[in-house]
């Protein structure tokens, strides 16, 4: 979803985290939204989404980031997860070749379920484990360029590039929305008496609660 409101933020952007189980999605989320990291692996953390509000090009943007809560293990991510998403971070583990191979599958999933204009970024996580690296940075970079995605290597553990990954996605989304708003204004100017309607994705009507979070138990 991406729509303008009057009060505490200018825009609300839904971003989904996808990728194989164990690649670090939940820790990327907790690093970005709470500056926390969990060493022990927990398959189901129970967070549906977490939010963080930040400035993008002088606008207040609320990023609402959805985590899979373990469904990716069973390949049972529902289309509701993708509904209204304007950004996606596709994560693999650079110490596990299979998680990189599976990125293709996740991109297909996005093509099937998400809006065709969704902004996608590829993240090779666990860059702190360079001595265990299997996926070369250049291979991923070449793949990302071929697929038209932006790309970064991240470490949720060391808080490396996590902020930058989300900032990049949010800026890309913001620029798309600004262009659409401009185009809508131009269109409205040539239609006297018609107001300007900007619709990008769907507004979020469901006020879902955040549940128990990692590291709090």
Ligand X SMILES: Nc1nc2c(ncn2[C@@H]2O[C@H](COP(=O)(O)OP(=O)(O)O)[C@@H](O)[C@H]2O)c(=O)[nH]1
Residues at the contact surface with Mg ion, assessed by CB under 5 A: 25-26
Q: Where does this chain touch ligand X (CB under 6 A) — which range of 34-42, 140-148, 177-185, 186-194?
A: 34-42
The reply on whether position 23 binds ligand X by CB under 6 A is yes
Nearest distance in Å: CB 56, ligand X: 24
Question: Contact 133/94 with Cβ under 8 angstroms?
Answer: yes
Nearest distance in Å: CB 159, ligand X: 9
Q: Where does this chain touch ligand X (CB under 6 A) — which range of 18-26, 79-87, 167-175, 180-188?
A: 18-26
Q: What is the largest CA-CA distance in the chain?
A: 64
The reply on whether position 128 binds ligand X by CB under 6 A is yes
User: What whole-number distance in Å separates Cα of residue 140 and Cα of residue 143?
Assistant: 5
Residues 96, 97, 103: CA angle, nearest 5 degrees? 105
Q: Where does this chain touch ligand X (CB under 6 A) — which range of 123-131, 175-183, 185-193, 196-204?
A: 123-131
The reply on whether position 39 binds ligand X by CB under 6 A is yes
- Return the structure tokens found at 91: 């994560």
User: What whole-number distance in Å separates Cα of residue 89 and Cα of residue 141?
Assistant: 15
- Return the structure tokens found at 102: 């599976």
Q: Find the helix or strand (DSSP H, E) in which 147 lies.
A: helix 137-147
User: What is the pattern of x (binds ligand X, CB under 6 A) and - over residues 141-180?
Assistant: --------------xxx-----------------------
10 Å CB burial of residue 89 (0-12, 13-18, 19+) is buried
The reply on whether position 125 binds ligand X by CB under 6 A is yes
Considering only residues 41, 53, 130, 196, which one is a binding residue for ligand X as defined by CB under 6 A?
41
All residues at 6 or more sequence positions from 202 whose CB lies less than 8 Å from its CB, including other chains: 1, 83, 84
Please list every residue from 53 through 112 that binds ligand X, using CB under 6 A: none
Interacting residue ranges for ligand X, rule: CB under 6 A: 21-27, 38-39, 41-42, 125-126, 128-129, 155-157
């Amino acid at each position: 979803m991406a729509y303008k409101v009057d009060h505490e933020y200018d825009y609300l952007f839904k971003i989904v985290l996808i990728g194989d189980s164990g690649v670090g999605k939940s820790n990327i989320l907790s690093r970005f939204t709470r500056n926390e990291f969990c060493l022990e692996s927990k398959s189901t953390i129970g967070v549906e989404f977490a939010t963080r509000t930040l400035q993008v090009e002088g606008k207040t943007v609320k990023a609402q980031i959805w985590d899979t809560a373990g469904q990716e293990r069973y390949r049972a991510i529902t289309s509701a997860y993708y509904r209204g998403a304007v950004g996606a971070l596709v994560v693999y583990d650079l110490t596990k070749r299979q998680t990189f191979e599976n990125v293709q599958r996740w991109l297909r999933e996005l093509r099937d379920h998400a809006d065709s204009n969704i902004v996608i970024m590829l993240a090779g996580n666990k860059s702190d484990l360079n001595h265990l690296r299997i996926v070369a940075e250049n291979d991923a970079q070449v793949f990302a360029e071929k697929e038209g995605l932006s790309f970064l290597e991240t470490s949720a553990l060391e808080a490396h590039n996590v902020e930058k990954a989300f900032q990049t996605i949010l800026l890309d989304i913001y620029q798309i929305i600004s262009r659409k708003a401009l185009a809508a204004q131009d269109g409205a100017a040539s239609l006297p008496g018609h107001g300007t309607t900007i619709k990008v994705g769907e507004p979020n009507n469901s006020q879902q609660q955040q549940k128990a979070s990692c590291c709090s138990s």
